[in-house]
Structure 1
Amino acid sequence: MNMKARQGKTYATAHDLKFDNFEFKSLNKLEIEKSIYDHSRVLIEGVINENDIKEYNRYLEQEDPPLVITYDSEDKQLVIFKGIVSSYKIVYKNQVYCLQLRAFSYSILLTRERRNRIYQNLGSRYNDVLNILNNENKNFYFSCSTNQLGETVFISKDYPLVLQYKESDWDFIKRISSYINQPVIVDDTKDNSETINIQIGSHISSEKKLSNTYGEAAQKTGKKSTKYNYFKIEEYKHSRTGNVFNVGVKLDYITDNEKQETIELVIIENNIYIDKSNIYSEIVLAKEENIRILNIKRRFEIEGRGFRAEVMSLSPKHQAKVSFLDIEDDFEESKAHWFPLDQVYRDVFSAPELGDIVDIYFKSKNERHAAVRESLTEIEQEVKNDPVDKIIITPEGFQIKINNDSIFVIGKGNISTIEIAQDLIKAKQDDNDLNINLNKDLIQLNFQETKFALNDSAARLASGGTGLIVDDSKIDLA
């Protein structure tokens, strides 16, 4: 992320906007969209020198070329956006060359890798989760806006497990933040000496007072008929000495200009643009208590999934503590979750031993219903069967199926099957047309064109039109 940038004044607005690595003779368009629970987005179109085209092409064709936009405020240079270019185009129109850029904040990098993790240590806090994310993402800093918020319990007796399954860290942090009704804020205004901040919760204190000259109260209806009350300010002109606000910032919004009465609002959207050499914003704000965030659902359901784990501890209450093998696990035996052993039938439970490799099967969309199975279900495999059947599936695809009538042992790909009932044993192999049936009165064996039968009175063998019968008194060859 830290690349040597080509710097310099590139476009003379009231704030002296600068673009690292690019020089624009004039800007046709600049739009920067910032919102809670989202990446910052940038759209730029400006006139460039023809002599710079080759250099810009070379720079923009590299992987994730950085884009930093700064502006002057009170004789200081502040970052208004820092991210990476996602697409670009150089076009020739109206006798000039124009460079068009689209970019995202660096937080977009968090969406590229899906992870599998389990959180199972009772009493874990949000700060504990964020520490894990920080260790995995060295270029980012995950935090809560207050220590009190960070000490919110994440793993409790009521919700003893949280599974991150095929889920990026970006989607994961949004999902777990929605559980406590807190916004996720991307701070893309730090210089290159600082990491990219991803924060849960609004900023603590108000930055400044904001006039209501162009503002109005509004309401909209969202999903599940939820009413959202907010304030909207259009064409807010940023002063020469003021900062361009980031989302999550609290402002004292003046409701009565004469009495200077104010209410504290949080910026939840800020769409920034330029017009006539000035920086403007369309800002959406809301009271902190009016910010309602619906629970975010995971993209990939966990119902029917299984993960290998090693049994670390057993309880006489038909429970086990396990350490997961194929997914990241912050296992601490003293705090780890007690998984119930799978109940095969009434009062009949699976019985693993310490050190056994078992399958933790997630029976529903809720992690709380996970249980220990002695089978090894393949991670990607969905287990769907008749409720009366109990099925064990190994990673190689072999199965044992038990119901009230029979026990089935099934080979890989269902090619070979053995069925054991109270008074019957059957075996078949589809590849060789082999069938064996055994009961107390009869043994039958069929192999391709050969058939053999044996009972108390006789043995019969037939193959290719020839037959042999052997009984107590004679041998017949037909």
Structure 2
Amino acid sequence: MRENRILIEPYQFISYLEVYAFKAIGHHGFIRVKGVIDESLADRYLMMMQQEVWVSVILQNEDLNRDFFRGIVTNLRIIDENGVHILEFEARSGSYLLDCCEHIRSFQADGISYRQMIDTCLAPYGNSSATIQAQGGNVIHELVLQYRESDWKFMKRLAGKQHTVLYPDNCTAGIHINFGLEEVINEKKIESSEYSVEKDASGCTYVVTCREPYEIGERVVFLQKRLHVSQVVSELKGNELYHKCYLRNKEEMKCIPEKNENLQGASLQAAVSAVEGDRVQIKILRDENAEHSGYRWYTYATIYSTPDGTGWYCMPEAGDRVRLLFPDTDEGNAYVVSSVHMEGGQDRVNPAHKSFMNKQRKEILFTPDAIILRNNQGLALEMKDEEGIKIISDKDIIMQAEKSITINSKNAHISMEAEDALSMKQGSTALSLNKTIKMSGGRINMN
């Protein structure tokens, strides 16, 4: 089939000076058109660029019209050359809109499918869809994090994890992508005597030049080999549009697994949801998918720990702020660490004071000249360099030992004072001071 006419909407060209299109697996479709237009249309076309403009390119012959490209205009200019008005525009497939903004989304639930993750990324966009092959139903059991990645780059990384491909639908308006190569029964046979064969470390590529256009991802037969179209470059030569098709085996078209280099060394603020043993569940604070992310258990990094149990066991509690840390580009190696203090308070104004306090305000305070244990409700044990040890209690103080208790003052005196009564007892011998002095025992000696 030969296409002998190019129709472009919404632009009307008198003649074409250049038509160039590039379509490839893993890339947004691209087209550049340059041609002569009527002078009366120039201002109208410039005004149209104040809003989003979608362009459609149709190849027409006597038998039918065939969609060749539909995309969003990303660049346009009009040149006046001696009264001849030339319009040049560039457009990209709708998948380009997936590549404009970076996002942070977590997928923590165990057993989430690739289809679910892709649908989550596409949900904010209107007129979007994904054709997902069998690989999209596979599930993943580790943390997946979209961190400072566009939706397009993230989905390409997902394709790499599945050793498959991602490519746009270049002939449909809107955002439409393909995850994996479609297996079709009907195969198109390419017949052309103008071809070359290229071989590199990744495999063998057949480069075929023909007049009939093919779409990337299509399965074709060439030289009795079943191949897939991996790339198409189309150019206008004279009045005819020629297409250079790159054909490869399916096994040689897989996306190379990629790592998100932004992830290495990154940390995200999070809130603790649950604690179990030395593990925590968290909710990431900047997570765009927080409501549907799910939960998983993370190891919590402590100050000091050994396999035999020696070390410091001090876990955060539900609601505490922590950080999810990524030591490298593999999300599966993430772990939770202690948080940076985010809010001011009178308890934390003196850097010389080191404090350890729980939510119930039970505190151990280290100062340059003292160690203080207190519950901030009337009980305290103070050990001060200049003043000694002070025990303060609004309740009973009990000292009990299986053996001796010795109270000894080497250089001063021992003072005991009570508001109501003071008593000492040993066996059947007792001394009581309560307004009067009472002594009792089997034998009392007084001197």
TM-score between both structures, scaled by the size of structure 1: 0.68
Q: Pick the aligned partner of 1:301 from 263, 285, 297.
A: 263
Q: Distance in 1 between matches of 2:292 and 2:42?
A: 57
Please state if 1:208 is matched with 2:167: no
Gaps of 5+ in 1: 1-12, 221-225, 239-243, 256-261, 376-392, 399-408, 428-437, 443-478
Please state if 1:45 is matched with 2:34: yes
Gaps of 5+ in 2: 306-310, 356-364, 371-382, 388-447
Match of 1:338 in 2: 297
Q: What amino acid does structure 2 have at the position aligned with 1:372?
A: V
Q: Pick the aligned partner of 1:78 from 63, 66, 71.
A: 66
Task: Kindly report which structure 2 residues correspond to 1:330-409, keeping only aligned pairs within 5 A, or say none.
Answer: 336-346=295-305, 347-375=311-339, 393-396=340-343
Q: Pick the aligned partner of 2:89 from 71, 95, 101.
A: 101
Contact 1:216/1:233 (8 A) holds in 2: yes
Please state if 1:228 is matched with 2:203: yes
Q: Distance in 2 between matches of 1:100 and 1:426?
A: 78
Q: What amino acid does structure 1 have at the position aligned with 2:351?
A: T
Please state if 1:31 is matched with 2:10: no
Q: Distance in 2 between matches of 1:417 and 1:50?
A: 74
Q: What amino acid does structure 1 have at the position aligned with 2:30?
A: R
Please state if 1:291 is matched with 2:253: yes
Query: Which digits, 9 at most, give the CA deviation of each residue in 1:145-195, with x for residues without a partner?
Result: x2x211222x22xxx1111111110111111111222111110212x5xx5
Q: Distance in 1 between matches of 2:233 and 2:344?
A: 54
Query: Which digits, 9 at most, give the CA deviation of each residue in 1:248-285, with x for residues without a partner?
Result: 111111x2xxxxxx111111110112223222101111
Q: Pick the aligned partner of 1:268 from 230, 255, 258.
A: 230
Query: Which digits, 9 at most, give the CA deviation of each residue in 1:405-428, with x for residues without a partner?
Result: xxxx986xxxx622659997289x
Contact 2:73/2:89 (8 A) holds in 1: yes
Match of 1:91 in 2: 79
Task: Kindly report which structure 2 residues correspond to 1:307-346, keeping only aligned pairs within 5 A, or say none.
Answer: 307-311=269-273, 313-316=274-277, 318-329=278-289, 336-346=295-305
> Highest Rg: 1 or 2?
2
Distance 1:76 1:310, change over 3 A: farther
Partner SS, residue 132 of structure 1: helix
Contact 1:127/1:150 (8 A) holds in 2: yes
1:303 Cα shift?
1.6
Q: What amino acid does structure 2 have at the position aligned with 1:369?
A: N
Q: Pick the aligned partner of 1:417 from 346, 351, 364.
A: 351
Q: Distance in 1 between matches of 2:35 and 2:369?
A: 78
Partner SS, residue 55 of structure 1: helix
Match of 1:197 in 2: 176
Query: Which digits, 9 at most, give the CA deviation of each residue in 1:101-138, with x for residues without a partner?
Result: 11111211112221111111111111111221232223
Q: What amino acid does structure 2 have at the position aligned with 1:218?
A: E
Task: Kindly report which structure 2 residues correspond to 1:136-285, keeping only aligned pairs within 5 A, or say none.
Answer: 136-144=124-132, 146=133, 148-153=134-139, 155-156=140-141, 160-190=142-172, 195-205=174-184, 206-220=186-200, 226-234=201-209, 236-238=210-212, 244-253=213-222, 255=223, 262-285=224-247
Contact 1:423/1:440 (8 A) holds in 2: no
TM-score between both structures, scaled by the size of structure 2: 0.73
Identical aligned residues as a percent: 22
RMSD: 2.9
1:74 Cα shift?
6.7
Contact 1:188/1:196 (8 A) holds in 2: no
Match of 2:44 in 1: 55
1:332 Cα shift?
7.1
The total of aligned residue pairs comes to 358
Q: Distance in 2 between matches of 1:329 and 1:101?
A: 37
Contact 1:307/1:361 (8 A) holds in 2: no
Q: Distance in 1 between matches of 2:38 and 2:101?
A: 38
Distance 1:114 1:291, change over 3 A: same
Query: Which digits, 9 at most, give the CA deviation of each residue in 1:75-125, with x for residues without a partner?
Result: 332321111211122112365211111111121111222111111111111
